[in-house]
Chain A
Amino acid sequence: MKDMNAQTPLVEIRNLEKRFDLDQGWLETLKFRNGRFVRETRGVHAVNDVTLDVNRGEALCVVGESGCGKSTVARLVAGLLTPTKGEIHYDGARIDNRSRAEMQPLRKKIQMIFQNPYASLNPRMTIRQALEEPVRHHYPTFSVAEVRDKVTEVMMSVGVDPSWAKRYPHEFSGGQRQRIAIARALTVDPEFIIADEPISALDVSIQAQVLNLMLEAKESRGLTYLFITHDLSVVEHFGTRVAVLYLGSVCEVADTATLFSHPKHPYTRALLSAVPQLKDDRPNHIRLKGEIPTPINLPQGCPFQSRCAFANNRCSSEKPNAIHQPDGSLVACHAVEEGRLDEGMVGT
């Protein structure tokens, strides 16, 4: 039974698309072009045709630069946003078209940890109130004592001293608050955690504490993570698989070890080369030309073409599909497909 479960992914994301309209009302869509009025809508194409699987027990990291749509993916999967197109399946059942009431039982299974622990805890609730609320909501039959026991147990397991329960969020440091936010996510025994940049706001020594805590929770509770981050050194440590996003499209999906030892997509290579290293005196930084284009009115063809050193005519007209590579990774790049990349560069 368990083996069968392991075969179907826990979360399947199929051709997911999210568009945010920029125009407020139809008047704004009217434009005067060549002597006549035309209607022209502008939208931010935050997520474009993203297909991803999250397998049971893995930590799938989604990386990319600001504006690449990684947080939007997280919010879509969590059901905080409705997709414009595409489907999301959880445990074999479609969830993106469910009503709020229908989502309720899933909320217990899918929990989210946010970036800023200063904003994600209600400043007017004590830690106890904040932690008990989700338990009481999802386990309405629990007695007061049972709720309290449950909360105390979770607090102990994540290193939150139960004596803190009477205090308010402002009395804690960033790292402690993030611990409390993690405790809050764990109180309802979720199976899937979506973490959106959970350690970016924390100091280096505290980052290690929180990351360790999340790894421990993964082991002891058998959690599955969707981990959104821009920090590649964290990905290498924490993730079992990595998806690289650029302008709302997936460039490359691979096992963490494969991605770091043999990055294939030109963007992945540039991204990896940009990470400041401790020991290496002279980095081989691949300089990208230009900057990330805005996701408004996307270019035709490959989203990365404007900054890619390997772009040709095909890249500017045809959007590359993700293609399986011999080592199991998925890469969406015409140059990789055609073998136009300098092979000597692979693995450097």
Chain B
Amino acid sequence: MSLLSVRDLTVKFAMRDETVTALNGISFDLAKGERLGIVGESGAGKSITGFALMNLISRPGFVDRGEILFHDEDVVKMSDARLRELRGDKMAMIFQDPMVTLNPVLTIGQQMLETLMAHRKLSREEARQIAIVKLREVYIPSPEERLNQYPHELSGGMRQRIIIAIALLLDPELIIADEPTTALDVTIQADIMELLLELCQSNKVGLILITHDLGVVSQMTERTLVMYAGRIIEAGRTREIINDPQHPYTQGLINALPQQTLPGQKLRQIPGNMPSLTNIPPGCPFNPRCEYATDLCRTTLPEIIQYGEVRVACHEVERLHAEGARQEQDA
């Protein structure tokens, strides 16, 4: 049974003159304890997906259709009271910027205890003990002292670890992490990712990791969704997608990475830009940047279909695959 099941999720934003579709028919499942990566470039809709899962979309945005079943209960239709129970308890979110996620005028202890006591009947002392245990779990040195400190007294890496500790306070079943390490240095990023992986594995926590970094997805997740212009264009096991991407955009994204080309050689770039959501081209949204685009691609939106091990939304996937195989034979 899946922990989370998203069906045909569509999120729109009501702008002054028109309604913009930010998410268009997203469907995916997440099993208990599974780690899923959502990759894409800015404007692809990956953060909106994360927000929608917690029902955090606020005006002018709204969920137009679709459902988000968490334990067979639709998050979209939940009352505010029920949402308050769920958020921070069964579902927790880690945001990108550790500098702004914590409240600067409350101590770390106040923020941790607040979360605990809002959800559980605990005395202050009991809550304090849990907080200390969780801080220790994320390798914070001298946790008792940290509880009395303010966020500005801590470094970025330390803050992000505290945010992870807060997310883990009530033993959630699902953590949504939206670019949790983008604002941090590589060595700190590696530490945080290792920690997150370790905690998810040992506590059987489901993880949705939203990132633009394919390397991070490759090391952290079991399955991956690739998003482009508000749609899922490829989904499947992370290994399959990294080693043998089917969609031309996924291929382009992986091939554009500097480590995929010999040093000093020209990188294989994807021409053009991601279309703005107000101006998505007809047919396949990727067609103006795609070297394999045909007339069909320019007029008809490809459905997402099962192709081998992965799901992919591309008309030309079979032709592409045949060409790829031929090139491999030649080489």
Name the B residues within 8 Å of A291 (CB-CB).
Answer: 155, 157-158, 188
Q: Are the CB atoms of A205 and B41 closer together than 8 Å? A: yes
In the complex, how many angstroms separate the beta carbon of A120 from the nearest chain B beta carbon? 19
CA distance A291 to B253 in the complex (A): 32
Cβ < 8 Å to B, chain A residues 96-150: none
Q: Apart from A257-B263, A274-B190, A292-B155, list 5 A-B contacts with CB within 8 A.
A: A205-B253, A215-B266, A277-B219, A277-B259, A278-B259
Q: Are the CB atoms of A204 and B257 closer together than 8 Å? A: yes
| Residue of chain B at shortest CB distance from A66 | B185
CA distance A285 to B188 in the complex (A): 11
Given A276-B216, A279-B242, A291-B158: A237 touches B258 (CB 8 Å cut-off): yes
In the complex, how many angstroms separate the beta carbon of B103 from the nearest chain A beta carbon? 22
Name the A residues within 8 Å of B218 (CB-CB).
Answer: 276-279
Name the A residues within 8 Å of B271 (CB-CB).
Answer: 209
In the complex, how many angstroms separate the beta carbon of A228 from the nearest chain B beta carbon? 14
Decide yes or no whether B105 CB sits under 8 A from chain A: no
B-side interface size class? 35 or more
| Residue of chain A at shortest CB distance from B212 | A204
Decide yes or no whether B60 CB sits under 8 A from chain A: no
Decide yes or no whether B42 CB sits under 8 A from chain A: yes
Q: Are the CB atoms of A275 and B157 closer together than 8 Å? A: no
In the complex, how many angstroms separate the beta carbon of B247 from the nearest chain A beta carbon? 13
| Residue of chain A at shortest CB distance from B42 | A203
A-side interface size class? 35 or more
Query: What residues of chain A have their CB less than 8 Å away from a CB belonging to chain B?
Result: 65-66, 173, 175-176, 203-209, 211-212, 215-216, 230, 232-234, 236-238, 256-257, 270-271, 273-281, 283, 285, 287-288, 291-292
CA distance A176 to B194 in the complex (A): 36
Contact of B219 among A66, A233, A283 (CB under 8 A): A283
Q: Are the CB atoms of B263 and A256 closer together than 8 Å? A: yes
Cβ < 8 Å to A, chain B residues 252-274: 252-254, 256-261, 263-264, 266-271, 273-274
CA distance A32 to B286 in the complex (A): 66
Name the A residues within 8 Å of B194 (CB-CB).
Answer: 285, 287
In the complex, how many angstroms separate the beta carbon of B248 from the nearest chain A beta carbon? 12
Contact of A238 among B187, B239, B258, B268 (CB under 8 A): B258
Name the B residues within 8 Å of A271 (CB-CB).
Answer: 186-187
Q: Are the CB atoms of B190 and A212 closer together than 8 Å? A: no
12 A/B residue pairs, CB under 8 Å, sorted by A: A65-B186, A173-B273, A176-B273, A205-B252, A212-B266, A215-B264, A233-B257, A270-B187, A276-B213, A277-B215, A277-B219, A287-B191
Given A236-B263, A291-B158: A274 touches B269 (CB 8 Å cut-off): no
Name the A residues within 8 Å of B256 (CB-CB).
Answer: 204-205, 207-208
Q: Are the CB atoms of B268 and A275 closer together than 8 Å? A: no
Contact of B263 among A175, A209, A237, A276 (CB under 8 A): A237
| Residue of chain A at shortest CB distance from B191 | A287
CA distance A205 to B212 in the complex (A): 11
Cβ < 8 Å to A, chain B residues 177-218: 185-191, 193-194, 212-216, 218
Most chain A Cβ neighbours within 10 Å, of B158, B193, B258, B268? B258
| Residue of chain B at shortest CB distance from A237 | B258
CA distance A212 to B158 in the complex (A): 36
